[in-house]
Amino acid sequence: MAAPVKAKADGATGAVQNLTIGKAINLALRTAMEANDKVIVLGEDVGKLGGVFRITDGLQKDFGEQRVLDTPLAESGIIGTAVGLAVRGFRPVCEIQFEGFIFPGFDQIVSQVAKLHYRTQGGVKVPIVIRVPFGGGIGAVEHHSESPESLFAHVAGLKVVSCSNAVDAYWMTRQAIESDDPVLLFEPKRLYHSGNLRAEVDTTAKPAPLHASRVVRSGDAATLVAYGPSVKVCLDAATAAQEEGTSLEVIDLRTLSPLDLDPVFESVRRTGRLIAVSEAPSESSLTSEIAMRVQQECFYSLEAPVLRVTGFDTPYPPAKLEEDYLPDLDRVLHTVDRSLAW
């Protein structure tokens, strides 16, 4: 394992670093902790072990046990105490080990994290970040591959974002920590250490706004919209389609709540076709919301109904079947064909 990346505000290691998504989040946490001693990291195994994905690697060594807390094993405890710490003026960054284990903390998220600002008529700010590794494709046992983000997007008072590349991973983490609102950051766990997604992260550049979606590839035959791990699937599908002469536009949603659909509307008005891609089950989900809003805003531009490629409405299956369950390039292209054939 490489030594933790040390960034200095003065740019001692250079403002531009070539990082994986995992290392980019680590650097963002480190930078935020250096800049503000009220930023603390808490979660299970985040200290000595550096988290089960090593995202917090080296932080406890450098910032001590009071800034990087190996907490007792209780998610309600992690999130509930973060609320109190936030009320006291801290900026807690909670790590949930796997998305499937966020539910013991769901009550605190829904009842307190999301509502405290509203209930106190703005009297209490809740600058909490909850980092959630999510999604499948790692061949894991139950509860380690799910995509529960729609459940949180549905809760008023929470901001929910998801990164798909190292630059966003860095900046979304920093912006989430700086935000005075609670932010859930859904991190595509299977891409954490992907060498292919290494990118030049310029820590001095002006970042994209946290709550804005973005066109990541332009095209005119149909629009693909996705977030998190599915963005890469869509980009790969667009590359494959291009070889056959079909040009696909790909939009990375980035922000799941609030949803920024303006770039999607604009794109669909040009392409006339939308395919929403997500690993989550489809019923009553983010992709449902996207489809509804697009038909409302782009009704006269649509050449085909909005289609989806998603996980099925089943619990996540045994991992030997995840290739069937997860949207892959073939299923995306198949759905593009269906849309084009309309």
Partner 1 sequence: MSSPEQWTHPEPGAGPAATAAEPTPEQVIAGLRATTEGGAELTQLLTPEGERVASAQFDPYVSDIDDEALRNLYRDMVLVRRADRESNAMQRQGQLGIWVPLLGQEAAQIGSGRALRPSDMAFPSYREHGVAWTRGVDFRELIGIFRCSDHGGWDFKHHGFHPYTIVIGNQVLNATGYAMGQKFEGKVGDDNGEATIVYFGDGATSQGDVHEGFVWSAVYDAPVVFFCQNNQWAISEPTERQSRLPLYQRARGYGFPGIRVDGNDVLACLAVTRWALDECRHGNGPVLIEAFTYRMDAHTTTDDPTRYRLSDELEEWKLKDPIERVRAHLARGGGADQEFFDKIDAEADSFAAELRDFVFNMPDPPPERIFSNVYAEPSPVLEAQRREYLSYLEGFAGSEH
Ligand X SMILES: Cc1ncc(C[n+]2csc(CCOP(=O)(O)OP(=O)(O)O)c2C)c(N)n1
Which of 76, 87, 101, 106 binds ligand X (CB under 6 A)? It is 101
**Residue 81: closest CA among 94, 65, 97:** 94
User: Is residue 279 involved in binding ligand X (CB under 6 A)?
Assistant: no
Among 111, 193, 331, 340, binds partner 1 (CB under 8 A): 331
What is the residue type of 81? T
**At closest approach, how far in Å is the CB of 129 from partner 1?**
22
Regarding 215 and contact with partner 1 (CB under 8 A), the answer is: no
The residue from 16, 73, 156, 212 that contacts ligand X (CB under 6 A) is 73
Taking CB under 6 A as the criterion, the residue among 104, 207, 305, 317 binding ligand X is 104
Q: What angle do CA 211, 51, 208 make, to 5 degrees?
A: 20
Cβ partners under 8 Å of residue 311, min gap 6: 136, 147, 278, 279, 280, 281, 282, 325, 326, 327
Please identify, using beta-carbon distances, which residue of 51 and 311 lies nearer to ligand X: 51
Binding to partner 1 by residue 313, rule CB under 8 A?
Answer: yes
Closer by beta carbon to ligand X, 170 or else 316: 316
50 binds, among partner 1, ligand X, none (CB under 5 to 8 A by kind): partner 1
Strand partners, 276: 225, 308
The C-alpha atoms of residue 113 and residue 236 are separated, in whole angstroms, by: 37
Nearer to partner 1, 32 or 68 (CB): 68
- Which of partner 1, ligand X, none binds 106 (CB below 5-8 Å, type-dependent)? none
Contact between 200 and partner 1 by CB under 8 A: the answer reads no
CA distance 266 to 260: 11
How many whole angstroms separate alpha carbon 94 and alpha carbon 43? 6
Estimate to the nearest angstrom the gap between the alpha carbon of 308 and the chain centroid: 19
Residues 6 or more apart from 219 whose CB is under 8 A from it? 238, 242, 246, 247, 248, 249, 250, 271
Using the rule CB under 6 A, is 95 a contact of ligand X? no
User: Which residue is catalytic, options 117, 143, 144, 154?
Assistant: 144
* Chain residues 57-86 in contact with partner 1, contact rule CB under 8 A: 70-74, 76-77
212 belongs to the binding site for ligand X (CB under 6 A): no
Peptide bond into 258 cis (omega under 30): yes
Identify whether 144 is a catalytic site residue: yes
Q: Which sequence positions are flagged as catalytic?
A: 144
What residue ranges bind ligand X (CB under 6 A)? 44, 73, 75, 97, 101, 104
